[in-house]
Amino acid sequence: MARTKDASKAQKEPGRMKQMWQVFQMTRRYDSTAQWLMLLGFLAPVVVSLGLAIWFSEGNGFTIALWVVAGVLAGLLIALVILGRRAERAAYSQIEDQPGAVGAVLRSGLRGGWVGNEMPVAVNGKTQDAVYRAVGRGGVALISEGPASRTKRMLDDEQRKVARILPNVPVMLISVGTDEGSIKLHKLPATLRKSKRALTKPEVLAVSNRLNSLQSSLPIPKGIDPMKARPQRGKMR
């Protein structure tokens, strides 16, 4: 019975090529330029390698074939890299302007030594505006989700808290949205990676642990909507 279940599960799971095709279809649906960029990324190395093969091979068919194969492999690699980046951008565009979008990026989209949490450190229960925190080689990043005019005060409050606890650690304020001075959701990981390095890897871990241990506000349980939260009533005796 166990073997039958494993076999049926393996049949239901799509293969690697099918998964890539599904990703390509999704990306093309939300980004019409992705397929043309991928085609250009594939053809450019092939054309360059073919030209180099003709120039340097001196009519040797085997050498020409090697150059062409190298160009095809390089083209496939570049096309896959383009697909990955455009697919990530397309995925972020689907959740942009939704509560918790920044948390989703911090959970799955951070690289370069940055550590983030999908739960906000501050939330406005009426507007669902929120402030998230990430720690990396650039210091502490406070990221607001919502209109900049409403979240500025929340950012300033969180900045003062961090400065009081860690006065020597640089703090970046980032606003995610469509307002002037804000950045798009898909640009958040790149913005963090481009920050000037100020901490070592052990310091990043130490700063993250200290901030988490001194977090004064209780985190909102995953899956609970702040707009629908209600205080618990005491039991009648």
Give the C-alpha separation, 129 to 114, whole Å: 23
pLDDT at residue 77 tops 90: yes
122 and 182 belong to one structural domain: yes
Q: Do the beta carbons of residue 208 and residue 133 sit within 8 Å?
A: no
Give the C-alpha separation, 15 to 220, whole Å: 37
**In Å, what is the CA distance from 46 to each residue of 36, 43, 80?**
15, 5, 15
Chain segment 81-133, per-residue pLDDT in tens: 988 888 877 777 777 777 888 888 888 767 778 888 888 999 988 888 899 99
Q: Do the beta carbons of residue 58 and residue 103 sit within 8 Å?
A: no
Domain end (from 51, 68, 95): 95
Give the C-alpha separation, 143 to 153, whole Å: 12
pLDDT at residue 218 tops 70: no
Q: Do the beta carbons of residue 143 and residue 111 sit within 8 Å?
A: no
> If you average pLDDT over residues 23-31, what whole number do you get?
76
Predicted confidence at residue 133, as pLDDT, reads 93
Give the C-alpha separation, 151 to 186, whole Å: 19
Confirm whether 207 is domain-assigned.
yes
Predicted confidence at residue 229, as pLDDT, reads 40
Highest mean pLDDT among 28-37, 38-47, 61-70, 93-102: 38-47
β-pairing, 171-176 vs 139-145, is parallel
36 and 120 belong to one structural domain: no
pLDDT at residue 228 tops 50: no
Q: Do the beta carbons of residue 71 and residue 49 sit within 8 Å?
A: yes
pLDDT top residue among 223 and 36 = 36
63 and 115 belong to one structural domain: no
Side-chain-side CA neighbours of residue 156 (13 Å): 6
pLDDT at residue 189 tops 60: yes
pLDDT at residue 222 tops 60: no
With tokens 């120039």, the residue in question is 55
Structure token pair of residue 100: 């918790």
48 and 128 belong to one structural domain: no
Confirm whether 220 is domain-assigned.
no
Predicted confidence at residue 235, as pLDDT, reads 45
Count of domains in the chain? 2
Whole-structure pTM value: 0.64
Domain end (from 72, 95, 118): 95
Closest to 131 (Cα-Cα) out of 145, 118, 117, 141: 145
Non-local CB neighbours of 39 within 8 Å, separated by 6+ positions: 79
Confirm whether 235 is domain-assigned.
no
Give the C-alpha separation, 90 to 38, whole Å: 15
Predicted confidence at residue 215, as pLDDT, reads 67
Confirm whether 7 is domain-assigned.
no
Side-chain-side CA neighbours of residue 157 (13 Å): 15
Predicted confidence at residue 10, as pLDDT, reads 47
Determine the structural domain holding residue 64 and report its residue range. Answer: 16-95
Highest mean pLDDT among 9-18, 99-108, 204-213: 204-213
124 and 179 belong to one structural domain: yes
